[in-house]
Amino acid sequence: MPQRHEGHLLARRRPARFRPATFPAPTGPQLVAALAREHARVPFSPRDVRDAARRVATVASRLHLEAIVIRGGLDVGGAELDHVWVAINHRVIDVVFPLHSDTFVAELRAYIAGDLEDDDLDRLAHAYAMDWRVIGEFPDSLRYVGLPVWSDRAKS
């Protein structure tokens, strides 16, 4: 099956479902390293997902990659969060949540249910390094569905 191009994503009027996909070398390792440096400089935080998305887009542009900010839903298995993340080559970049941790995902469900405060979620997320964040790959049990934000729809 041919790989979808982001221009195709932008032309659509209904939300796209994103699937886990690795970045090919050398793009993947370069992007991971650059995002890890940015996270070490100022940790990405669930408190400001839009700022995190802007910072990811800046890092991507330095690597000559087109980043598109997406707004939609993140389904973490029975609980859905209105969320913002970045797509690069139709791959999810979500640096605010360490979704490779089952423990964190369980806490995120509690947050969505209102059983956890913003400060608690932020503190929990900060305990995880960048390799727990979503950079293309994410657990099959999760689902990202969304559309580009208005400012990014003109990039097609």
**Tens of pLDDT along 31-89?**
999 999 999 999 999 999 999 999 999 999 999 999 999 999 999 998 999 999 999 99
Domain that holds residue 73: 6-11+18-139
Decide if 56 is inside a domain. Answer: yes
In this structure, is residue 29 part of a structural domain?
yes
User: Would you say the C-alpha torsion 78, 88, 8, 25 has a positive or negative sign?
Assistant: negative
Query: Which residues does 118 contact at the CB level (< 8 Å), separation at least 6?
Result: 46, 47
In a domain, 151, yes or no: no
Query: In the prediction, which pLDDT does 155 show?
Result: 55
The answer to whether residue 148 sits within a structural domain is no
- Does residue 150 belong to any structural domain of this protein? no
- Identify any residues that bridge with 72 across adjacent strands, giving them in sequence order: 83, 146
Q: Is residue 152 part of a domain?
A: no
Domain assignment present for 144: no
Q: Is the model more confident about 3 or about 45?
A: 45
The 10s digit of each residue's pLDDT in 84-141 is: 999 999 999 999 999 999 999 999 999 999 999 999 999 999 999 999 999 999 999 9
pLDDT value for 150: 75
13: pLDDT strictly greater than 80: no
Residue 78 resides in a domain? yes
Q: Where are the beta strands (DSSP E) in the chain?
A: 16-18, 68-75, 80-88, 91-94, 134-135, 143-148
The total domain count for the chain is: 1
